[in-house]
Structure 1
Amino acid sequence: MPPFPEPTAPADGRAEVFLRYLDYFRESVLAKVSALPEAEVRASRLPSGWTPLELLRHLRFVELRWIEWGFQGQPVAEPWGDWRDGRWHVPPELSVAELADELRAQGTHTRTVVQSADLDTVGAPGPRWNGAEPASLERVLFHLVQEYARHLGHLDIVTELAHGPLGE
């Protein structure tokens, strides 16, 4: 797992800072979900009903929606493939290992995009923006960091309730 991206650690610029946080949060989510027994991965301990496996898939689609479908303006067949009937969904045949591979591959794509663009670059027009002006890459990355951090906090509570790994 990458080390926590301390604010005092030297970085080659703002893009590298964003990437370090995304890598850290992504791997922290994966470590927590992977440490849970299968029964806990597919079950919910919360009134809202989401499961750790659903959260894992959701985060993969979050990156897909914001980087590929949003910033890059690429066509995505099912940008909301993590949703069904108003809630997160994972097909029963998908495993933690498969979803971890998908999330890491999405992270690799994100890193490639960020390293090849300036943070001030505005995203391509497209359906992701719902008619609004596209955001800059920096704004998209800021959103992704908060999304990961928020959901990692949710997962911290769930793993504690399931007697899984605690803390960062």
Structure 2
Amino acid sequence: MRPFPEPTKPAASRNEVFTGYLDFFRSRVIDKITELPEPELRTSRVPSGWTPLELVKHLTFVELRWIEWGFQGRPVEKPWGDWKDDRWHVDPAETRESLLEALRTQGRHTTGVIETTDLSEVGQPGPRWKGAEPATLERVLFHLVQEYARHLGHLDIITEQATAQSGE
């Protein structure tokens, strides 16, 4: 298990701090999904109806939307590919392994951007911003950190309900 990036642990840069937190949260999501029994992956334990696999796909698309489609201004064919009928969606053919690999791949891309870009750099104009001025990479990364932290907390609760093992 990847250790938590303690605030007292020295870091060479703010970029390294963001990478450390995102890598930690992403690894914990992957660990929890890997440990869940197969029947729990497509079962919802909450009134909103989302499943653990849908959460994984959502986090992959969150990174895609904010880093590639938003910050980098790249064209993305289906930026909302994690949504169908106004909710998160996973096709029956999508597997735990394929969804986790997609999350890892997207994470590697995000890490590459963080490692090679100044945090004060402003994103490219594009549809992600809905007409607003693009944000800096630092603001986008703050958003990603909160998104991961919030959803990992959700997954902690689901895992505890499913396996009786508590989170962090």
Alignment TM-score, normalising by the size of structure 2:
0.98
Query: What do the CA deviations read for 1:13-43 (whole angstroms, capped 9, x no partner)?
Result: 1010011000000010111111111110110
CA distance in 1, matches of 2:167, 2:14: 26
Contact 2:157 2:167 in 1 (8 A): no
Q: Which moved more, 1:155-164 or 1:66-75?
A: 155-164
**2:64 — aligned with what?**
64
CA distance in 1, matches of 2:158, 2:108: 27
Structure 2 unaligned segments of length 5 or more: list them.
none
Contact 1:26 1:148 in 2 (8 A): yes
Structure 1 unaligned segments of length 5 or more: list them.
none
Query: What do the CA deviations read for 1:94-120 (whole angstroms, capped 9, x no partner)?
Result: 111111111001000001111111000
Q: Give the match's secondary structure for 1:156.
A: helix
Which contiguous aligned blocks of 4+ residues in structure 1 show a shift greater than 6 angstroms? none
**1:152 — aligned with what?**
152
**2:80 — aligned with what?**
80
Note the C-alpha offset of 1:166: 2.0
Matches within 5 A, 1:134-153: 134-153=134-153
Contact 1:22 1:145 in 2 (8 A): yes
CA distance in 1, matches of 2:123, 2:69: 10
Code of the aligned partner of 1:48:
S
Cα RMSD between the aligned structures? 0.8
Sort the Cα spacing of 1:164 and 1:56 in 2 relative to 1 into closer, same or farther, 3 A.
Answer: farther
* Identity across the alignment (%): 67
Are residues 1:3 and 2:3 paired? Answer: yes
Note the C-alpha offset of 1:135: 0.3
CA distance in 2, matches of 1:164, 1:42: 18
**2:42 — aligned with what?**
42
Note the C-alpha offset of 1:165: 3.7
CA distance in 2, matches of 1:167, 1:61: 24
CA distance in 1, matches of 2:166, 2:79: 32
**1:117 — aligned with what?**
117
